[in-house]
Amino acid sequence: MTGKAPATESMRSEPILRVIHAYEDWIIRTYCWVRFWILRQRFLDEIGQYLPERGTILDLGSGFGLFSLYYAQILPDARFRGVDLSRRRVEMAKRAAVRLGLANVTYEVGDATAWRADDEYAAAYMLDIVHHIDEEFVRPLLEQLQKALRPGGRLIVKEVDTRPRYKRWFTYLLDRLMSSRGVIRYWSADELQRLLEEVGFQVHRHLMVDYLPYPHVLYICQREE
Ligand SMILES: C[S@@+](CC[C@H](N)C(=O)[O-])C[C@H]1O[C@@H](n2cnc3c(N)ncnc32)[C@H](O)[C@@H]1O
C-alpha cells in the first residue's frame, strides 16, 4: 500500500480548492464543497492510499468528476478515465479538467449496466454507485471489472451499509434529494462482500467512521496476482 496523498485534514487543501473552483456553475461548486466537506481530506487519503501511482484508473460513475479531478492532481503519472451515465455531468467534468489543465484525465458517457472490460486497468473505483444500479446488473458488472483489472489490481468500492437503520434512512433522503427517480438499492456489508468474493476478489472491508450519520463502508477488492 502506498501513501502519497498529502496528510492534510482540512478543506483548505489546495487540490480540493482547485477542483471546487474549476466548475463554472455555483450550484455545482456548492455541491462539490458539500461532498468534499462530507468526505473530507481524511477520507480522500483513506481511498487514495489504495490507488497505484501509474497505469490507467477507471472512475465508474464519475459524476461531476470531483474525485478523478482530485486524484489526477495527486497522482500525475496515472491516467484517469471517468465514465458516467449523465451527459451533463460528463460535459461539466470535461470542462473542469480543461480549466485545471489536467492532461491525465478523460471523461465519457457510459452505462455501468452495459459496461464491458475494454482495457487493462491498474485500478478501478466506484464511489456511491452500486446502490444506483439495478440488482440484476451488479454481478455482471463486478465480473467485468474483475476481468478488466490487471493481476494484483484493485477495485475500490465505497457504499453505504443498510445498518443502522436511521443512518440508512438519512442517506436515502439525501439520495432522493439528488435523484428523485431512479434505482436506490442498498446492500448490507455482508451481502456485498459475499458477492465481491463470489466473483473472485479478495476483499478487505472497513468502516469509514464519520461524525455524520452516513454508514460508509470501504471495500478494497484485490484481483489475484
Ligand atoms: C451519488 S453520485 C456519485 C458520483 C461520484 N462517484 C461521486 O462520488 O461524487 C451517482 C452517480 O452515478 C451515476 N450513475 C447512475 N447510474 C449509472 C449507470 N448505470 N452508469 C453510470 N453511471 C451511473 C449518476 O449519473 C451519478 O453521477
List, for residues 48-95, the tens digit of each pLDDT value: 999 999 999 999 999 999 999 999 999 999 999 999 999 999 999 999
Grid cell for residue 173: 433522503
The mean per-residue pLDDT over the stretch 13-32 comes to 91
Nearest atom in ligand 1 to the alpha carbon of residue 175 is: 1
Indicate the top mutation candidate among 38, 85, 115, 218 to test ligand 1's pocket, ranked by most ligand atoms within 8 A of CB: 85
- pTM score: 0.90
- When pLDDT is cut at 50, 70 and 90, the band that residue 2 belongs to is very low
What CA–CA distances, in Å, run from 159 to 18, 50, 96?
26, 16, 26
Q: Is the pLDDT of residue 12 over 70?
A: no
- The radius of gyration computed from the CA coordinates of the chain, to the nearest angstrom, equals 16
CA-nearest residue for atom 2, ligand 1, is: 63
Residue written as grid cell 437503520: 165
Q: Where are the domains of the chain?
A: 14-222
pLDDT in tens, 164-191: 787 778 777 887 877 777 888 899 999 9
| CATH of region 14-222, choose from 3.40.50.150, 1.10.1240.10, 3.40.720.10, 3.40.1670.10 | 3.40.50.150
Helix (H) or strand (E) holding 130, with range, is none
Q: What is the mean pLDDT of the chain?
A: 89
Expressed in angstroms and rounded, the spacing between residue 168 Cα and the centre of ligand 1 is 18
Grid cell for residue 208: 469509514
In the chain, which ranges are continuous DSSP H helix?
14-21, 26-48, 66-74, 87-100, 135-148, 165-178, 189-198
pLDDT for residue 210 = 66
Nearest atom in ligand 1 to the alpha carbon of residue 61 is: 22
pLDDT for residue 4 = 46
The mean per-residue pLDDT over the stretch 112-125 comes to 96
Which among 2, 118, 124 has a CA at the least distance from the CA of 60? 124
pLDDT for residue 143 = 97
* HSE toward the beta carbon, residue 174, CA cutoff 13 A: 16
pLDDT for residue 170 = 77
Grid cell for residue 75: 497522482
